[in-house]
């Protein structure tokens, strides 16, 4: 005798609902599996990129020290010179391009005259009136202005320009501090930055200077000759060498790292050197 038809029909919706739950569970498990797999792949890629960047960073730092030793090589025919020539190195799976620049070819805003700063501002495209005012403001900020005004007078100028501070009359500790000088814009600071250094002498070495710095020196010389009858003094060529080392490392996995350092090497004892600055990136 067959079962109760009513009971059989009543059980079919329950079996269908159970099947639906099972299907949804399978879909949920598949979704979770896909998500976990994708997350795992992402983490693997991140770890791979971090490892590649670490290798490139280490290679760039190693290239910096290789450049220091090559600058101090007692064999003159093997010594690297701060002449912007590009040296190619291979460290592990990283390729590094190293360039050495004579830091004396830059302008030191802590030591430069207002005329030299004005000439550089002119060279990067600032308006003549802006160049003059800003050059004076920089020398007042670092305390090298020949015509000293009282702190109250300087503070009044800054407050009139909308600032709640005045120039400290102290040497800069970083080029970025020039952004606080009255009249300095981000665009002008970006234009000045490649030509400035806190480790260069008061008078740049024209032989190592770029076009803008050479133009500024010529401008300052004309002003100097007009006022005193003689050109500006030059750097002692037999003094210590201060060099900016730029390293660009490329590693497997498209990793790229830019590293720069500034070193001073004793001309009388090349094996003695001082690491003046270490910067991630190129300034």
- Structure confidence at residue 247 (pLDDT): 95
219 pLDDT exceeds 80?
A: yes
| pLDDT at residue 130 in the model | 96
Look at residue 138 and tell me whether its pLDDT is greater than 90. Answer: yes
Residue 7: which residues within 8 A CB-CB, separation 6 or more?
Answer: none
What value does the mean pLDDT take over residues 163-180? 96
- Interatomic CA distance for residues 140 and 133, integer angstroms: 11
**pLDDT value of position 53:** 83
What is the distance between the alpha carbons of residues 232 and 75, in angstroms, rounded to a whole number? 34
- pLDDT at site 238: 55
Q: What is the pLDDT of residue 35?
A: 67
Domains detected in the chain: 1-105+239-283 (no CATH), 114-228 (1.10.40)
Q: Taking residues 146-170, report their average pLDDT.
A: 94
Which residue would you say has higher pLDDT here, 158 or 241?
158
The whole-angstrom separation of Cα 123 and Cα 139 is 18
* Phi, psi angle pair for 92, to nearest 5°: 60, -130
How high is the mean pLDDT of the chain? 85
Please compute the mean of the pLDDT values over residues 236-243 and round it to a whole number: 72
Dig out the tokens for 42 from the structure: 């992402």
Of the two residues 49 and 236, the one the predictor is more confident about is: 49
């Amino acid at each position: 005798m067959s079962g109760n038809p009513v009971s059989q029909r009543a059980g079919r919706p329950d079996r269908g609902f159970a099947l639906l739950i099972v299907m949804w569970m399978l879909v949920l498990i598949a979704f979770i599996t896909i998500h976990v797999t994708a997350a795992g792949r992402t983490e693997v890629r991140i770890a791979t990129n971090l490892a590649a960047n670490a290798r490139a960073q280490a290679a760039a730092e190693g290239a910096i020290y290789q450049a220091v030793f090559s600058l101090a090589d007692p064999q003159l025919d093997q010594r690297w010179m701060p002449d912007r020539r590009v040296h190619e190195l291979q460290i592990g799976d990283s390729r590094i391009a190293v360039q050495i620049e004579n830091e004396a070819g830059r302008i030191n805003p802590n030591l430069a005259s207002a005329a030299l700063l004005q000439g550089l501002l002119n060279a990067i495209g600032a308006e003549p009136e802006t160049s003059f005012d800003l050059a004076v403001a920089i020398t007042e900020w670092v305390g090298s202005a020949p015509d000293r005004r009282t702190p109250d007078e300087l503070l009044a100028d800054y407050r009139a320009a909308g600032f709640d501070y005045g120039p400290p009359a102290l040497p800069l500790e970083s080029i970025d501090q020039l952004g606080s000088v009255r009249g300095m814009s981000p665009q002008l600071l970006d234009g000045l930055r490649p030509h400035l250094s806190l480790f260069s002498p008061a008078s740049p070495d024209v032989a190592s200077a770029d076009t803008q710095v050479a133009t500024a020196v010529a401008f300052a010389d004309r002003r100097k000759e007009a006022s005193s009858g003689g050109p500006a003094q030059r750097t002692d060529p037999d003094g210590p060498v201060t060099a900016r080392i730029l390293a660009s490392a490329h590693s497997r996995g498209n990793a790229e790292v830019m590293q720069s350092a500034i070193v001073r090497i004793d001309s009388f004892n090349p094996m003695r050197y001082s690491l003046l600055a270490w910067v991630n990136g190129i300034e």
